[in-house]
Structure 1
Amino acid sequence: MQELSLRPSKNDILTGTMSAKIKKIEVDGHIITIVNHNSDDFISLTDMIKAKDGSFYISDWLRNANTLDYISAWESMHNPSFNYGEFATIRQSAGSNAFKISVKELIEKTNASCVIAKAGRYGGTYAHKDIAFNFGMWISPVFQLYIVKEYQRLKEVETNQYNLEWNVKRILSKVNYHIQTDAVKDYIIPQSKYTKETEWLAYAEEADILNVALFTFTAKQWREANPQLALEGKNLRDIASINELAILSNLESANADMIREGENKNERFKKLYKIAQYQKEILDKQDFLKSIKKTTDDVYLDKGKPNNLQE
């Protein structure tokens, strides 16, 4: 098998209600989906088998006696409802040329919980990470080692203190955005000439006042300068640094106060720009990593290595 390349997937973290539990890793060009099931990670065997040379099916792995023994051992530790009687019958047939069993049959006959079959979007066969790593060994020892390494990297990204803080700051900036939009709705729109169909422009203009004050360009200018990121559904706030998100929250609150006090747009922008520059100068001195834009999910891991830290 050719040498495997390991790099983080662009789709590690997705948006939306369902996709909040969907993660992806990439090994040797193969995108492998991970779903959250019963508060644990289940990895797509359907995605993994694409890395095995030749025409093979998951059932080819499942008919192996060693595979069945491994599944039985796992179920004995995690599943009190496992049907050992039915499993014993299946196990006796393992090894014969005629023996074959599907994941669906295994689940129905033994009440196994280490594998699941999902329909619809992100459908396919998934296995608990312990079982998936065993499946990876069946594909090849090298592939198994790399998928374990990439999974560990994903966990490291998820628990990294800077990523956790970034997520908190992003949520806070979204919450404070509503404070600003309420001020626009109550104080700007009633005094403007916007119609019901065009009042969204008032919200966009206020958002861009903050964008220019903090980032020095509008949302449209950012999209034009970063077409690939825009195609991926990202905006300039999605790649902002931790410090920028903290400042953005402060600006949203300050802007809402000034709107309620009746200050005009030009005066508000001047004050917001001064606030942004002052706070950025102070915060960026405190922690180098918090000043780095989050261009990828693992940027804080890479930049946080000792040889990458500034004095």
Structure 2
Amino acid sequence: MDNITVLNKSISTKKINQDDYISITDIAKYKDEVDANDIIKNWFRNRNTIEFLGLWEKLNNADFKPVEFDLIKNDAGLNSFTMSAKKWCEKTGAIGVISKSGRYGGTYAHKDIAFEFASWVSVELKLYLIKEFQRLKEEEYKQLGWDIKRNLTKINYRIHTDAIKNNIIPNIVNQSQINYVYASEADILNIALFGQTAKEFKESNPTNKGNIRDYADVSQLVCLANLESLNALFIEEGLSQAKRLIKLNQVAINQMKILVDDKNIEYLKAKE
């Protein structure tokens, strides 16, 4: 769950089944802090609201109940007509609106519906809400992009270490020997790409937190992921450490020349 601030009001958002939902209870509080639920009920009494909600459900919800919806739509707009978010969901099987009671409850709506409700409350509020929501999504995409790049390296590292385990480490060794081989193999990549071992980096940068790879830029991370896959292949082919280091260094030089000039890489850097 994330909160965004719109016109000095905190509005919560959360993921439900991978879709973005926004608290329309918080949106209603922009108009009336005390009677927010009544504002939502008044919106649900509107015939245009019911038609909009029904159309959204037909487009997005295979389990929506059209017969029950038609009965509700026929009564919508009458003086005697009453409707709430909870009642709407129970009768029609709607998924676009979620209403729960309790301390951490409230009424949430899919972003498409929440923006429509915000427009009914205040056009100004809707415009600022869309702007802040887009900013939130940009931050999420930025973080997602970085996570994907880091996870790609981690996945390739698993391939890399499995190849070491299956092809380099002798059958009978103690744990310290195993750890040494892993560290040694990791430093082959460090030397090929960064020109130094992890220990040398740490000694020359004693105040830095993390390891040498934590300070790699986007181009270096992409290249490192490729080197890990190649090193695993070279290990399978039985190449010695010395030969692998020379090959990996040549690949690193060629790939970095290409990546440094790649406009897409520059775009990713700008997003960091």
Establish whether TM, by shorter chain, passes 0.5.
Answer: yes
Specify which of 223, 247, 272 is matched with residue 248 of structure 2: 272
Change (3 A) 1:180 1:94: farther
1:81 aligns with 2:65: yes
Specify which of 127, 139, 142 is matched with residue 145 of structure 1: 127
> CA offsets per residue over residues 184-213 of structure 1, 9 Å max, x none?
211233367443x99577556644653564
Letter in 1 for 2:189: L
Give the conservation status (yes or no) of the 8 Å contact 2:220–2:256: yes
- How far has the Cα of 1:44 moved from its partner? 2.4
- How far has the Cα of 1:141 moved from its partner? 3.2
1:187 aligns with 2:170: no
Give the conservation status (yes or no) of the 8 Å contact 2:11–2:27: no
Trace 1:20-99 onto structure 2 (pairs within 5 A). 26-28=4-6, 30=10, 32-35=12-15, 37=17, 41-45=19-23, 48-49=26-27, 52=30, 55-56=33-34, 59-65=37-43, 68-78=46-56, 79=58, 81-82=65-66, 83=68, 84-86=70-72, 92=78
Change (3 A) 1:286 1:63: closer
TM-score when normalising by structure 2: 0.63
The residue number in structure 1 matching 2:265 is: 290
Change (3 A) 1:150 1:65: closer
1:111 aligns with 2:97: no
Report which stretch shifted further, 177-186 or 77-86.
Answer: 77-86
Letter in 1 for 2:41: R
Specify which of 205, 210, 213 is matched with residue 189 of structure 2: 210
Letter in 1 for 2:87: E
1:248 aligns with 2:224: yes
Q: Distance in 2 between matches of 1:198 and 1:26?
A: 52
The residue number in structure 1 matching 2:214 is: 236
- How far has the Cα of 1:281 moved from its partner? 1.9
Alignment length, in residue pairs?
252
- How far has the Cα of 1:143 moved from its partner? 3.0
- How far has the Cα of 1:262 moved from its partner? 5.1
> CA offsets per residue over residues 72-95 of structure 1, 9 Å max, x none?
122342436242324655754679
> CA offsets per residue over residues 25-69 of structure 1, 9 Å max, x none?
7445847434354x8x44221684497376346523322147643
Secondary structure in structure 2 of the residue aligned to 1:55? coil
> CA offsets per residue over residues 197-249 of structure 1, 9 Å max, x none?
99577556644653564466859969x7468xx9xxxx839x852x4343223
Report which stretch shifted further, 278-287 or 203-212.
Answer: 203-212
RMSD: 4.9
**Percentage of matched positions with identical amino acids:** 33
Trace 1:149-188 onto structure 2 (pairs within 5 A). 149-152=131-134, 173=153, 175-188=155-168
1:128 aligns with 2:105: no
> CA offsets per residue over residues 232-288 of structure 1, 9 Å max, x none?
xxx839x852x4343223201222234342523x7655653453233212321232x
1:263 aligns with 2:247: no
Change (3 A) 1:70 1:210: farther
Change (3 A) 1:58 1:94: farther
> CA offsets per residue over residues 118-149 of structure 1, 9 Å max, x none?
79xx9764312221002333554333112223
Change (3 A) 1:248 1:47: farther
Secondary structure in structure 2 of the residue aligned to 1:109? helix
Secondary structure in structure 2 of the residue aligned to 1:134? helix
Trace 1:4-19 onto structure 2 (pairs within 5 A). none
* Unaligned residue ranges in structure 1 (runs of 5+): 1-21, 301-311
- How far has the Cα of 1:105 moved from its partner? 2.4
Give the conservation status (yes or no) of the 8 Å contact 1:25–1:150: no
The residue number in structure 1 matching 2:61 is: none
Q: Distance in 1 between matches of 2:11 and 2:184?
A: 39
TM-score when normalising by structure 1: 0.57
Give the conservation status (yes or no) of the 8 Å contact 2:22–2:109: yes
Change (3 A) 1:293 1:128: closer
Q: Distance in 2 between matches of 1:110 and 1:180?
A: 53
